[in-house]
Structure 1
């Protein structure tokens, strides 16, 4: 006699594959990191090198700017002089060097020309300096005068040197300054700039300043210090 057949009903939980065998607790697979420690280290190193390069570049630019500034400052103070001597074409008096032009320019053009030569229109401090300049001018004609760095263009009657210092010691000629506008009002703004000089100077009278219309053209005197 054969054994009896037993039937059993097997129920599976919803969502599970009946062919899948489960054993033990289930865990999620780990999500890979964005980059490995090695990659992060290389990226940090590249950023560090970039920052270093920027710093070095800034230092080089700053050094170049400082170097150029010192170079131009030295040019401005020396006007090409060497070891306390004036450059060729300049004449020495004390610690100063003077340049006496041959060409004639307006006062403004003369001022700019002196600046171009790393100097300024002459600033006269005392009678000794005035006498030296008078002797060096060597004028032979009354109108062959030279511009100096004195003017009252900003405020009438308030005379200032080109470095904006006020006039203290003056050497005006006769009734100067008179702010003359011309015989036919050809100088309506008057006379706001100063020229100096006297023909055949004999060393006695040093009062030789004359106020003149700034747009007229005369020779000029530039001044700078020895180096």
Structure 2
């Protein structure tokens, strides 16, 4: 299974590193800009009100313009309060912090890649780490997800493989994903180098899966619902 021709699409989805949080971040930026704008408007209106009041030549004209300016200033203050409320609501939105620090967000899931963040571990120890973080070793359910993971791998420091949630420990030769599904349930892939002493699968370049000794230390990928 060779996915190299579709690397560009994977890269477009990899910036889903910020993917599902993009809307929240954009909304927050807009709210901040609006809040700043209204603050400046309020200050300017207050200054105009003061200058008009102190320098106006006619009492009647001054009273009328002052009244209008006062209404506008009050309107700006009301809008400022509304924007502040919106800003508070946006920044409290759980979608803006959908994944823990160090995790990547993609299509309503959070992914943890241990490279550079944790020491290498065996397959079982890697699975235990994921379990402790309310996740599991990554179960890759479709070509798009495979491309996303391959895209991340291509941007990380070079390493030979990545532990994923695939094993034939229960029955030799029957490779099952962590959710109990057969290896070919989601994609037409096979596990290469299968042998009696190789019960855990690792993911390598080109979307290829290889049987390896579960005791071999290596990096891994966790996956959890966002």
Question: Normalized against structure 2, the TM-score is what?
Answer: 0.52
> Does structure 1 residue 169 correspond to structure 2 residue 169?
no
Count how many residue pairs are aligned between Structure 1 and Structure 2.
128
CA distance in 1, matches of 2:122, 2:152: 21
Q: Output the CA distance in 1 between the equivalents of 2:188 and 2:124.
A: 22
Partner of 1:29: none
SS at match of 1:83: helix
Kindly report the root-mean-square deviation, in angstroms, between the aligned alpha carbons of the 2 structures: 2.2
Matches of residues 88-99 of structure 1 in structure 2 within 5 Å? Answer: 88-99=101-112
Query: What are the superposed Cα offsets for residues 45-80 of structure 1, whole Å, 9 maximum, x if unpaired?
Result: xxxxxxxxxxxxxxxxxxxxxxxxxxxxxxxxxxxx
Show the counterpart of 1:193: 200
Contact 1:171-1:209 at 8 Å conserved across structures: no
Task: State which of 85, 96, 113 in structure 1 corresponds to 2:129.
Answer: 113
Aligned residue number for residue 218 of structure 1: 218
Larger Rg: 1
Rounded Cα–Cα distance in structure 1 between residues aligned with 2:173 and 2:192: 9
CA contact (8 A) 1:146 1:220 kept: yes
Distance 2:211 2:188 in 1: 11
Contact 1:100 1:221 (C-alpha < 8 Å) held by counterparts = yes
Conserved? CA contact 2:150–2:207, under 8 Å:
no
2:144 is the alignment partner of 1:128: yes
Matches within 5 A, 1:139-150: 141=158, 143=160, 145-150=161-166
Q: 1:195 to 1:82 in 2, by over 3 A?
A: farther
Alpha-carbon deviation of 1:225? 0.7
Q: Does the 8 Å CA contact 2:192/2:211 hold for their aligned counterparts?
A: yes
| Higher normalized helix content (fraction of residues) | 2
- 1:140: Cα distance to partner? 5.2
Gaps of 5+ in 2: 1-92
TM value normalised by structure 1: 0.51
* TM superposition shift of 1:171: 6.4
How big is the shift at 1:166? 2.4
